[in-house]
């Protein structure tokens, strides 16, 4: 009976260990010079190869280009000496292949943290349909040609009769030119491009031709710069997408700018009442850079002038997600005339193998920031989080019921979208300005 119990326990442990190994991500990132440990309980055979000599060691054994075999009852210690790659294949009892890992040894990306308050001005691709509404035509009847044609809230009107739409005024002009004849409207719905046939109707109210759609072509607001590469000017900000205030949908970018911003006032956050930083910026002055992408992980583009950060005049490494840990950290953010450094606590770190939001939960611990804002407020999105001398995360959202706490995204995910390592063809920042 005892033997049966022991076998059952061993089987459960075996299955658990196999599942843990199999569920590992296919790619394993390690920073050059770093040592990583994989906990292995059962006898696992390992066959590893390296693309060149001197990159990897496993439990002190050099991994060669021809391949290195070993078995491990103990935790597997991965040591790195140079950038490059290799593979680790796990074999149950040294015979049955159960998992193959691609190991990439990289140099950490290095950036200058932000914390600067910025104005954000974004022009959409085409115009965004934010509402549909009936109107009375000159015939005295109610009309909504857009709705009848299948145009919906959240669609972007890209062109009318094959003429690219510039802005909302341009739409009015093109509708007026239709003289009530059928027109072809190209819309973008998510990743789909669709063409709708619509017949504008002359409005009883003002005699203008309408289709019953309210549209928006731009938006503006205040946020926080997250980081930038001083060599290429590539930057990231906000940590989340810019969405339309009415539809909640992510705006597609035609063009946009970030601008210098000055804090005008602060509305402190309270339970169930998110606070807000209100900023002032002038659209035609003090342009800092150009927005190229609006994604669920923030806005990205190229700076046109050097920013500077008195706390970090030189670039610091960007942490990989496994390097982030629960415990003390600090954020850089602007609540008055200059960037401030404020203590926080990282309370929870999520296990994420692919880019996702809500990578960690953070809590404001600095009494100065709590006094000024009540915690995390709108306008602080994008504030960089520093831990152990590395950029580890970016503040994104506040907890509605607890303004002292909020979510942050791994800096690793944002830096990937900014294409910091490649520079994405960016020109160098003009450091003379």
**Which residues are known catalytic residues?**
240, 366, 381
The span from the CA of 244 to the CA of 326, in Å, is 34
Q: What are the C-alpha distances in Å from 172 to residues 152, 162, 200?
A: 18, 15, 11
The C-alpha atoms of residue 82 and residue 32 are separated, in whole angstroms, by 6
Residue keyed to tokens 């409005």 = 203
List strands edge to edge, sheet with 27-31: 27-31, 96-106, 84-92, 44-50, 68-72
Write the DSSP assignment of 250-262 as a string of letters.
BPPEEEEEEEE-E
How far does CA 191 lie from the centroid of its chain? Answer: 19
List the beta bridge partners of residue 48.
Answer: 68, 88
Looking up tokens 């909302």, which residue turns up?
Answer: 168
- In whole angstroms, give the CA distance from residue 54 to residue 50: 8
List the structure tokens of 63: 């991994």
Burial class for 143, CB neighbours closer than 10 Å (0-12, 13-18, 19+): buried
């Amino acid at each position: 009976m005892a033997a049966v119990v022991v076998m059952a326990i061993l089987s459960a442990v075996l299955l658990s260990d196999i599942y843990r190994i199999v569920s590992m991500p296919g790619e394993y990132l390690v920073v050059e010079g770093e040592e990583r440990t994989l906990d292995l309980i059962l006898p696992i055979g390992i066959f590893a190869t390296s693309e060149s000599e001197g990159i990897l060691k496993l439990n002190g054994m050099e991994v060669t280009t021809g391949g290195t075999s070993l078995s491990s009852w103990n935790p597997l210690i991965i040591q790195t000496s140079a950038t490059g790659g290799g593979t680790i294949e796990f074999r149950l009892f040294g015979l049955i292949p159960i998992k193959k890992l691609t190991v990439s040894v990289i140099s950490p990306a290095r950036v200058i943290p932000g914390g600067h308050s910025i104005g954000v001005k974004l022009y959409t691709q085409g115009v965004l349909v934010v509402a549909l509404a009936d109107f009375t035509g000159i015939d005295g009847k109610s009309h909504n040609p857009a709705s009848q044609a299948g145009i919906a809230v959240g669609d972007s009107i890209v062109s009318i009769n094959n003429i690219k739409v510039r802005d909302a005024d341009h739409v009015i002009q093109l509708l007026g030119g239709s003289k009530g004849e059928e027109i072809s409207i190209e819309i973008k719905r998510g990743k789909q491009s669709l063409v709708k046939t619509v017949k504008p109707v002359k409005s009883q109210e003002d005699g203008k031709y309408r289709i019953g759609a309210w549209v928006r072509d731009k938006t503006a607001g205040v946020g926080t710069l997250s980081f930038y590469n001083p060599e290429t000017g590539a930057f990231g900000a906000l940590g989340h997408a810019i969405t339309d205030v009415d539809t909640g949908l992510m705006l597609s970018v035609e063009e946009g700018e970030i601008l210098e911003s000055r804090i005008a006032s602060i509305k402190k956050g309270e339970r169930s009442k998110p606070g807000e930083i209100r900023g002032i910026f002038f659209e035609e002055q003090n342009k800092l850079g150009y927005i190229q992408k609006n994604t669920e992980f923030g806005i990205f583009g190229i700076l046109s002038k050097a920013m500077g950060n008195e706390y970090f005049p030189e670039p610091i490494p960007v942490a990989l997600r496994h390097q982030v840990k629960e415990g003390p950290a600090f954020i850089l953010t602007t609540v008055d005339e200059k960037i401030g450094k404020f203590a926080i606590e990282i309370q929870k770190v999520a296990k994420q193998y692919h880019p996702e939001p809500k990578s960690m939960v953070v809590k404001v611990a600095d009494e100065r920031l709590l006094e000024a804002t009540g915690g995390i407020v709108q306008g602080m999105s994008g504030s960089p989080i520093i831990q152990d001398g590395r950029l580890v995360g970016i503040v994104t959202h506040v907890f509605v019921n607890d303004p002292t706490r909020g979510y942050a995204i791994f800096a690793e995910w944002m830096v990937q979208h900014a294409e910091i390592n490649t520079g994405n063809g960016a020109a160098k920042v003009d450091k003379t300005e």
